Amino acid sequence: MIETVLLAVGPGDSDRVEELTTQTIAVAEPTGATVVLAHVISADEYEDELRSYHDAIDRMGLDIEHGDVPPESLARETEPVGEIAKRLEEADLEVDVRGVVGDRAEEIVALAEKTDADNVVVGGRKRSPTGKAVFGSTAQQVLLTSPCPVTYVREGTI
């Protein structure tokens, strides 16, 4: 029985919100599984998001001390994570938002192990064999090393 579904979302998944949400609901809803919504970003992307967060605080004129903000705190505020979390919650699914900084594929697999995920959902785009060989593929690495089945959601499938 599926009790935990890990949905890995990165900065490039804004174009796949509908597909990722629909597929995750299709996997999690029948068993009432908890969805661990993971926002996995590189260290550089984390610094960019942190800078944007601090800029927003300054624009609002809030008197909040700047400092490091844990990735989990930024995750829900980051698109498309917030939108996906809202849609999953509207489908009456329990959602646990996590933020992770590091190598995407490695962190997704590690989080799948840590949360004892029964299924991992990842998005991707169509790439040529040469593109995969030259640039690598997060989804491909997750498919090959995940401790559980992986649902691959390609852009434009819905």
Could you tell me where the DSSP H helices lie in 12-137?
Answer: 17-28, 43-60, 71-75, 81-90, 104-114, 129-135
Is residue 65's pLDDT more than 80? no
**pLDDT tens column, 31-60:** 999 999 999 887 787 777 777 766 766 677
Six token digits for residue 39: 């926002």
Round to whole Å and give the CA distance between 116 and 13.
24
Residue 24: the pLDDT is 97
Residue 134: the pLDDT is 43
Helix axes 104-114, 138-145, angle to 10 degrees: 40
**pLDDT tens column, 79-121:** 789 899 999 999 999 999 998 888 999 999 999 999 999 999 9
Residue 15: the pLDDT is 86
Residue 57: the pLDDT is 62
